[in-house]
A and B are shown apart, each in its own frame.
Chain A
Amino acid sequence: MVQERLPDERIDTLSLQILIDRDTCMGSGNCVFWAPGTFDLGDDGISVVLEPAEGEERQMFLAQEGCPTRAISLWRDGVEVTSP
């Protein structure tokens, strides 16, 4: 079955920490496509986190899930979280 829609009120209370494994990142730029307010590519072509954009939590999960090399992980209170 498909994933459940994440209730908006829960999104607003999420405080996510974003980690990028720079050795694994291939610079596909797919994270920038899905969450352009949160990610960018640095001059070396490796993904960097901008200020995590307000209201872009769902897109962050899409970016994490859409990373072709699993270089992005999302954490809350020291626990890794995946797409709900």
Chain B
Amino acid sequence: MVRVSLDETVGEPAPFDPFELQDTVTGDIRDPYPRMADLRRQSAVHFGNIDFIGSDDPEPPLVSEVPVPVSVFGHDEVVCALRDDRTYSSTVYEGIMGVVMGPTILQMDAPRHKVQRALVSPAFRSRILERWETELVRSVVDDLIDAFAARGRADLVRELNFGFPVQVIARILGLPMVDYPKFQEWTIGLISVASNWDRAMAASEELRVYLTAVIGQRRRQPADDLISDLVVAEIEGERLSDEEILAFLRLLLPAGVETTYRATGNLLFGLLQHPEQLEALRNDRALFPQAFEESLRWEPPVTVILRKTLKDAVLGGVPIPANSDVGLFLGAANRDDRRYADPDTFDMFRQAQQHVGFGFGVHMCLGMHLARMEARVAVNAILDRLDDIRFDPDADDDPHIHGMAFRSPTSLPVCFSPR
């Protein structure tokens, strides 16, 4: 008989396990793409809630908590909407992420968006990021690999991917290493807002207190970090308010942590599933950009972004009324067979084509150059140090990419020649 002890509620809390929270964020959906392809064949634009599990499955849809009256599955239609930011407004995020993050660039339209983006974007240019590549990212990744290189097997999701982006973004912001585990917990708390309101609000408040103190400290005593840059950033007389800096930092943690670890995982999953492509990349690292871009096309870490129509619109020939919430399915757009041959296949040798894995339009991922660099450094370190790496045939696991709004592998159990 199981006796529930009251001590459990007053004793030491269980250690934070980020993976315990994952399913609440992602939804445990293994492959939404066949359903999206079916829907797209009917029409690139759909009205009403979509059941992504399929009508033959008795389970209720897991994404229905956020109503998405209009869903767009076609590539050209998604690109068209993302480029027309005067019609398809980002203010829809005010009531979602804005609640826990504050007024971020995620939810702004022109003209304020353009000013804010210009204020924060210099720190994310590829040339500025070069200094972090050797000074920071490679050393963070090497430290993590050191912990398991001699073992001959590892789960790269838990032991590498989940650990390095948070350390990178925290160092760029200038936050002390001792606080890193908290960032990961707060990050997952923030993005759980649709499924766990209390956890999201608690994370938001803890971050506000923590970051407000740091911002004040940097105003008094600037350091060599992004927060110090933000407090003095000025373009044509425009500056960021403390509230805007705080909001931006609360956006950066999830944006810089969640997406990069997922994207790196999806790339490694594609490569491990296709050993001939992994081998080709091992032998010619100049192939990395096309490998990563292909993984972002095949399995983007963020599969859907939202907009609200400010006026009546027509998309793909379909009229959309003003004030509609519009879900733009990046993942479906990236697998539109009107644009990509054999779209469900991970093939880093396909002829390069644009994708919307980083979104598109004025809100296109601010951190894309950082993500590209981080993933490159991590994969290069793996290929440099873990010889003969492959999926571990003895692992008691069923690794697969899962999730709905966010997608990444459940695990990456690998074995390799120990050194």
- Please say whether chains A and B are actual partners in one complex: yes
What residues of B have a CB within 8 angstroms of the CB of A3 in the complex? 339, 353
User: B360 within 8 Å of A by Cβ?
Assistant: yes
Q: How far is the CB of B101 from chain A (nearest CB, A)?
A: 21
Q: Is the CB of A70 within 8 A of B83?
A: yes
A41 to B118, CA, bound (A): 13
A3 to B353, CA, bound (A): 9
What residues of B have a CB within 8 angstroms of the CB of A28 in the complex? 364, 368
Within 8 A of B (CB), among A8-61: 26-30, 32-34, 41, 45, 58
Q: Is the CB of B362 within 8 A of A26?
A: yes
User: B417 within 8 Å of A by Cβ?
Assistant: no
0 or 1 for each of B102-127: is its CB under 8 Å from A? (1 = yes): 00000000000010011001100111
Q: Is the CB of B361 within 8 A of A69?
A: yes
User: B241 within 8 Å of A by Cβ?
Assistant: no
A30 to B360, CA, bound (A): 11
Interface magnitude class on chain B: 20 to 34
User: B21 within 8 Å of A by Cβ?
Assistant: no
Q: How far is the CB of A83 from chain B (nearest CB, A)?
A: 9
Q: Is the CB of B362 within 8 A of A41?
A: no
A14 to B359, CA, bound (A): 30
Q: Is the CB of A2 within 8 A of B126?
A: no
Interface size on A, residues (CB 8 A): 21
Known: A26-B117, A26-B362. A66 touches B354 (CB 8 A): yes
What residues of A have a CB within 8 angstroms of the CB of B338 in the complex? 1
Q: Is the CB of B372 within 8 A of A45?
A: no
0 or 1 for each of B346-364: is its CB under 8 Å from A? (1 = yes): 0000011110000111101
Within 8 A of A (CB), among B126-142: 126-127
Choose from A30, A34, A41, A62 the contact partner of B364 (Cβ within 8 Å): A30
22 of the cross-chain contacts (CB-CB < 8 Å) are A2-B351, A2-B353, A3-B339, A26-B117, A26-B362, A27-B121, A27-B125, A28-B368, A29-B126, A29-B369, A33-B289, A41-B125, A45-B118, A45-B121, A45-B125, A62-B353, A68-B82, A68-B83, A68-B361, A68-B364, A69-B83, A69-B362
Shortest Cβ-Cβ A-B pairs, 5 listed = A68-B364, A2-B341, A66-B354, A65-B354, A68-B360
